[in-house]
Amino acid sequence: MEIKLLSISEKPGQVTEIPANPAPDVVESASTMGTVFEILIYGSDRRNLSAAARQALREIVNLDDQLSRWKSGTDIAYINAHAAKERVRVEPELFDLLLRSRRIWSETNGAFDITVAPLVKAWGFYEKKGRLPGSEETKSALEIVGMEHVVFDEEERTIFFERSGMEIDLGGIGKGYAVDRAVEILEACEVKAALVNSGTSSMYAIGSPPGQEWWHIGIRNPKDEEKSVATLALKDGSVSTSGAPEKVFEVAGKKYSHIIDPRSGRPAEGSVSATAIVGSAAESDALATAFYVLRVAGTRAYWEKHADVKAILIPATDEGKKPAVVAIGFDRNESTKRDK
Ligand code: AMP
Ligand code: MG
């Protein structure tokens, strides 16, 4: 992966000049996983490139049939219904994804946890109707959340939930994982310059557009969608952002994020948006969710042990104040700029 931070906005809403990516030769998209995946490709053989893009998108649609916790008959629906009663054998690639989720859980001190489902449910986010659970309800949900209660048998490739009521939710990593799987297909089809994105949340850049050294990617300003807070130059790497403003719920005048801190059992507070940049989209997706929970100090602590990862955080500021932007892991190791 190659990455540069080209700019951080100095003034509210200022957009520095972004050398536009030229118009791609092939654009294909598909609606799945609750969003629209899009593939942009440069190259001369349009017919073959379009076929490659469509094959990659089909892979993502098929993955939704394995990973969704909503559809019946998916592997995840089966695991959620049975793994507290018996050990469930898991398809090898999904088993690897679950192991990877456990590793990220451990490396983020539990901030990223795919067993968060009972809490997401208690706060009403699955019904898209935010509600405040009572303290007893939060306590009982917390008892059935925690990757430490999932038993993995790596030889048999089975998983088991130690507590009944446990459920997993791949919402924080699945889209990024799907982007990676699409990238594998494109690379196998000899695609040399492409961008794969899952709406605005995760993307992967293969190579760079013709005549350009990099893909130029704007990190959107959550307070003003039309404007970016930072511009990145990226090649063969991935960017994911968590904290889309449209996902925030308001109950009795207070805002709650759909990202839960699995340690406290409450919606994470103190972040407006968190962006992670690293070599794989599954990893950047999961880390963006984790960094949203971990905030600046926790993300910096993570970066001290994983220097290949970079982050751009927008901490919450008081109403009416301009957002601050904190970049971690770039050239001078870290740079912070606050809009005046
Ligand atoms: P993202 O948009 O990638 O940050 O993922 C958010 C989604 O992941 C939520 O809608 C939940 O389904 C799930 N989720 C919420 N909190 C967490 C967490 N702390 N760890 C893992 N997944 C989470
Ligand atoms: Mg995520």
Structure tokens at 135: 């303290």
pLDDT in the model for residue 130: 84
pLDDT in the model for residue 9: 64
- Does the C-beta of 113 come closer than 6 Å to ligand 1? yes
- Does the C-beta of 76 come closer than 6 Å to ligand 1? no
Beta 202-206 vs 194-198: how paired, if at all?
Answer: antiparallel
Residue environment code for 182-205, b if the CB has 16+ CB neighbours within 10 A, otherwise e = bbebbeebebebbbbbbbebbbbb
Tell me if residue 271 falls in helix, strand or coil: strand
- Does the C-beta of 114 come closer than 6 Å to ligand 1? yes
Distance 43 CA to ligand 2 centre (A): 31
Q: Are 57 and 33 in contact (CB under 8 A)?
A: no
Among candidate residues 334, 292, 284, 282, the one with its CA nearest the CA of residue 315: 292
Structure tokens at 255: 């805002």
Residues in the chain: 340
Q: Is the dihedral of CA 294, 143, 176, 251 positive or negative?
A: negative
- Does the C-beta of 201 come closer than 6 Å to ligand 1? yes
pLDDT in the model for residue 241: 94
pLDDT in the model for residue 11: 46
- Does the C-beta of 117 come closer than 6 Å to ligand 1? no
- Does the C-beta of 238 come closer than 6 Å to ligand 1? no
- Does the C-beta of 285 come closer than 6 Å to ligand 1? yes
Residue nearest to atom 23 of ligand 1 (CA): 172
Domains 1-21+212-330 and 70-161 share a fold: no
Cβ neighbour number for residue 179 with a 10 Å cutoff: 28
pLDDT in the model for residue 340: 31
Question: Mean pLDDT in each 10-residue stretch from start to end of the chain (340 residues)?
Answer: 77 47 92 96 96 98 97 97 98 98 98 98 90 94 98 98 98 98 98 94 95 89 76 94 81 87 96 95 98 97 96 86 86 44
Indicate the fold that domain 70-161 takes in CATH: T-fold (1.10.3980)
- Does the C-beta of 169 come closer than 6 Å to ligand 1? yes
Distance 329 CA to ligand 1 centre (A): 24
**Max Cα distance, the chain (Å):** 61
pLDDT in the model for residue 319: 73
- The residue whose CB lies within 8 Å of the most ligand 1 atoms, and thus the one to mutate among 104, 259, 284, 294, is 259
CATH placement of domain 1-21+212-330: 3.10.520.10
Distance 170 CA to ligand 1 centre (A): 8
What do you get for the CA distance between the two ends of the chain, in Å? 33
Which residues are near ligand 2, the ion (C-beta closer than 5 Å)? 172, 285, 288-289
pLDDT in the model for residue 196: 97
Domain limits of the chain? 1-21+212-330, 70-161
What backbone phi and psi angles, to 5 degrees, belong to 184?
Answer: -60, -45
Distance 258 CA to ligand 1 centre (A): 7
What backbone phi and psi angles, to 5 degrees, belong to 312?
Answer: -130, 115
Separation between Cα atoms, residue 38 and residue 113, nearest integer Å = 27
Q: To which H or E segment does residue 221 belong?
A: strand 215-221
- Does the C-beta of 284 come closer than 6 Å to ligand 1? no
Distance 116 CA to ligand 1 centre (A): 8
- The residue whose CB lies within 8 Å of the most ligand 1 atoms, and thus the one to mutate among 103, 116, 200, is 116
pLDDT in the model for residue 307: 93
Structure tokens at 309: 């990862």
pLDDT in the model for residue 300: 97
